[in-house]
Amino acid sequence: MQTITTLQAVYNALDHVMDPEIPVLSVLELGMITDVKVDLDGVHVKMIPTFSACPAIDVIKENITNAVERELQMPAFVTVDKEVNWNSNRLTDTAKEKLRNYGIAPPGKHEGEVNLDMLIKVSCPHCGSENTYLRSPFGSALCRALHFCKECGMMFEQFKPLS
């Protein structure tokens, strides 16, 4: 019973750790956490970056360590899980809704491979129109692409689908 309570408390703490580049999403909602264990030494968290060259990885690790240690008063050990790769299907439905409200188009669900249509046919997060085009597959962060909405005349970013 003790363990169950602690695990739940770890997940609560993780839900308070926001992504530094998308501050409306927690590391849990982004699907970055692959394993949580609690033993006599403390809390062990395994996590994965969205893109392998993500420059925010060290900051995120530190933020997780701090949040878990602060909320549970236990030592925390955060490691990168090499056996699991992040892919965009790991984003929860709540996360996608939050992304859209934040002004970033969420990635569609893929079946193991990302096809060109998923990149090109993106509805505008501002007005909902599908009359958009891909302006560049690279945006302000590695995980984002640049699009333009011909309906409302706004540039917007898409969280890239990744297989």
Partner 1 sequence: MQLEQALPELLIKIADDELIIGHRNSEWTGLGPVMEEDIAFSSMAQDKIGHAWALYRILQEHFNGSDPDQFAFMRAAAAFKCCHLAEMPIGSYDFSLMRHFLFDHAETVRYQSFSQSSFTPLQQLAAKIKGELKYHTLHADAWILQLCTAGAESKARMQQALDNCFQLAGGIFEPGEAETLLIAEKVYPGEAALYQQWLNNISPVIEKAGLTLPAMTAPVYGGRKGQHTEHLQQLLNEMGEVFRLDPEATW
Binding residues for partner 1 (CB under 8 A): 51-55, 82-83, 85-87, 114, 116, 119, 135-140, 142, 145-146, 160, 162-163
Candidates 152, 162, 163, 158; CA nearest to 121 is 158
Residues 6+ apart with CB under 8 A from 48: 32, 34, 80, 81, 84, 85, 86
Considering the complex, state which of residue 72 and residue 154 has its C-beta at the smaller distance from partner 1: 154
Residue 143 in contact with residue 125, Cβ under 8 Å? no
CB of residue 1 to partner 1, shortest distance in Å: 37
Across the beta sheet with 76-80, the strand order is: 33-39, 42-47, 76-80
CB of residue 96 to partner 1, shortest distance in Å: 19
CB of residue 163 to partner 1, shortest distance in Å: 5
Considering the complex, state which of residue 98 and residue 160 has its C-beta at the smaller distance from partner 1: 160
Reported residue count of the chain is 163
Considering the complex, state which of residue 75 and residue 137 has its C-beta at the smaller distance from partner 1: 137
Considering the complex, state which of residue 89 and residue 92 has its C-beta at the smaller distance from partner 1: 89
CB of residue 30 to partner 1, shortest distance in Å: 16
Residues 6+ apart with CB under 8 A from 13: 67, 68, 70, 71, 72
State the CB neighbour count (10 A cutoff) for residue 83.
8
CB of residue 32 to partner 1, shortest distance in Å: 13
Considering the complex, state which of residue 60 and residue 145 has its C-beta at the smaller distance from partner 1: 145
Distance CA 49, CA 33 (A): 9
